[in-house]
Structure 1
Amino acid sequence: MPSAKAEDYLKAIYQLREGEEPVATSTVAEALDVTAPTVTATMKRLEGHGLVEREEYKGVRLTEEGELVALETIRHHRLLELFLAEHLNYDWAEVHDEADRLEHHISERLETELAATLGDPSADPHGAPIPNEKLEPTEADDEPLTEYEEGETLVVTQVADSDPDVLSYLADAGIRPGTRLTIREIAPFGMLTVAPEEHDETVSLPAEIAAEVRVQAGERPEDEPATAD
C-alpha cells in the first residue's frame, strides 16, 4: 500500500497533467512546495514500485496502477470535503486542509459509507468531480472564466479549493458552483467585472482569481439550482 507521501505525489501528478505530456519535476516541486531534488528522489522510488514512468529531462507519467492510486486518493479527499461541509458544519474554505489530513487514513468501508450517506455524489463542495466507486475519471466540460468575452453569460461549474482566502472572497461575492453570471467588463490589465445572478452588486476579480473559476456557457441545468450563500 503506498504511503501518504506517495499518494500526495501521485495525486499531484494526476492533477497537473495535460494530455499525454509528462509532468515536469519542477512543476511537481512547486505544487507540493518541495525542492526539485526531493521530487527526483521520490520519483525514482515511485518508479521502482511501478507507479510512475520517468522520461529523462522531460518529467513523469503515471502508470495505470499509479493513476488508480491517484484517483482513489482524490475520491477520498472530495468525499471527505463534502461530508465535512454538509454534516459537520465546516465552511467550504476550511474543508480542503482537513481533507488533506484525513484522505490517507480512511478504510474502504468508511469510503463506502461516506458515499452512501452523501447519496453517491458526483461533485465536491467546490464543484470538482468525484471519481466513482470504480475509479473511473470524470472530466468536466468547462473552461476558466478568463477564456470568455465581455457580455457572455455563464454558469460556474467549479472553483479551485486550495486558497481559503479566495474561497471566502468568492462566497462573499455570491460566486459558487451553480451560480449564473455575466461578464460586464474586462479591463486592459486583466481585471474582470462580473454580475452574479441574485447578487445586488457587480464583482471585480483579478485575472489570477478569475482563472481559478471554471464555467460553462449557457443556462444552468434545471437539476442544478444555484447554491445559496
Structure 2
Amino acid sequence: MASPAADDYLKTVFAHTEWQDAPITPSVLAAKLGIAPSSVTEMVKKLAAAGLVSHVPYGAVRLTDAGTARALAVIRRHRLIETWLVREFDYGWDEVHDEAEVLEHTISDRLLEGIDARLGRPRFDPHGDAIPDADGRVEREPFVLLADAAVGHVGRVLRVSDQDPDLLRAVEAAGVAVGAEVRVTPSGVTVDGAELPVGEAAGQAIWLSV
C-alpha cells in the first residue's frame, strides 16, 4: 500500500500515542484527519489487510511492527523537512507543518539524506519532536504535560505541539521556547525569573522534562 494517504494514516496513528498512552479509535482518527468516519473504516480495513495495523470493530487502531517502521520513516521525512525549512529558509515554527505535509511525499531518499547531513543529523525538530534516525530509532527523555505538572516543578520545555499555529505564535510571544528551563506556578510558568501566564490550551500543548 504505497500511497500518501496510507502514510498519513500511519503517521497519525503513531503520533497520537507518542506523548500519551491512550490508543486511537477510528472516530478520533477521522477527526484528526478531517475525513468521514466511513472513509476511515475502509482505509483501516485496507491497512489491516496489508499487515500495517491491527483493529477489531469499534476498537482501537494499533500499528503492527511493519506499520510502525513505515510510520517512523514518514515522520523522519516530515520532521527533517520542518527543521530544514526553519534553519535554511527562515520559516517560523508556526509555518512549516503544512509545507512539510506536501514535501514529505515528494523528495527522494537521496535528498533527504543530504538534508540530514547538512543539518548535522539533528535529533529534534523545531517543536521538540524527536526525529527518528535512518534505522527508525527515536530518542526521548521522560516527560510530563505542563497541565499535569505540580506547582514548583522545574523542567526544560521538551516539546510544544505543532497542531495550532496561533498557539505556537502565542507561546513564542510569551517567551516560552523549546529548551528553556521553566518553573511551574499556579498561573503559568516563570522563565528567567519572569512570570508568564499560560492558558489552558497551552497547558495541554507543552511538555516538560521530569
Q: TM-score, normalised by structure 1?
A: 0.85
Paired residues of 2:16 and 2:23 also in contact (CA < 8 A): no
Counterpart of 1:195 in structure 2 is 190
Query: After superposition, where does 1:10-159 map in structure 2 within 5 Å?
Result: 10-17=10-17, 22-159=23-160
Query: What is the distance in 2 between the residues matched to 1:194 and 1:139?
Result: 23
Q: Secondary structure at the match of 1:50?
A: coil
Paired residues of 1:126 and 1:177 also in contact (CA < 8 A): yes
State the one-letter code of the partner of 2:10.
L
Residue 213 (structure 1) shift: 0.3
Residue 23 (structure 1) shift: 2.6
Counterpart of 2:173 in structure 1 is 172
State the one-letter code of the partner of 1:55.
V
Counterpart of 1:215 in structure 2 is 208
Q: Secondary structure at the match of 2:62?
A: strand
Residue 59 (structure 1) shift: 2.5
Residue 149 (structure 1) shift: 1.8
Paired residues of 2:171 and 2:202 also in contact (CA < 8 A): no
State the one-letter code of the partner of 1:120.
R
Q: How many residues align?
A: 208
Note the residue ranges of structure 2 that are not aligned, 5 or more in a row. none
- Assess, with a 3 A threshold, how the Cα gap between structure 1 residues 22 and 163 changes in structure 2: closer, same or farther: closer
Q: Secondary structure at the match of 2:40?
A: helix
Counterpart of 1:204 in structure 2 is 197
Percent same amino acid among aligned pairs?
34
User: When you count helix as a share of all residues, which structure comes out higher?
Assistant: 2
Counterpart of 2:183 in structure 1 is 182
Paired residues of 1:22 and 1:58 also in contact (CA < 8 A): no
State the one-letter code of the partner of 2:16.
L
Paired residues of 2:151 and 2:184 also in contact (CA < 8 A): yes
Query: What is the distance in 1 between the residues matched to 2:88 and 2:66?
Result: 33
Residue 183 (structure 1) shift: 1.9
Residue 118 (structure 1) shift: 0.5
Query: What is the distance in 2 between the residues matched to 1:82 and 1:22?
Result: 28
State the one-letter code of the partner of 1:87.
E
Root mean square deviation, CA, Å: 1.6
Q: TM-score, normalised by structure 2?
A: 0.93
Query: What is the distance in 2 between the residues matched to 1:168 and 1:145?
Result: 18
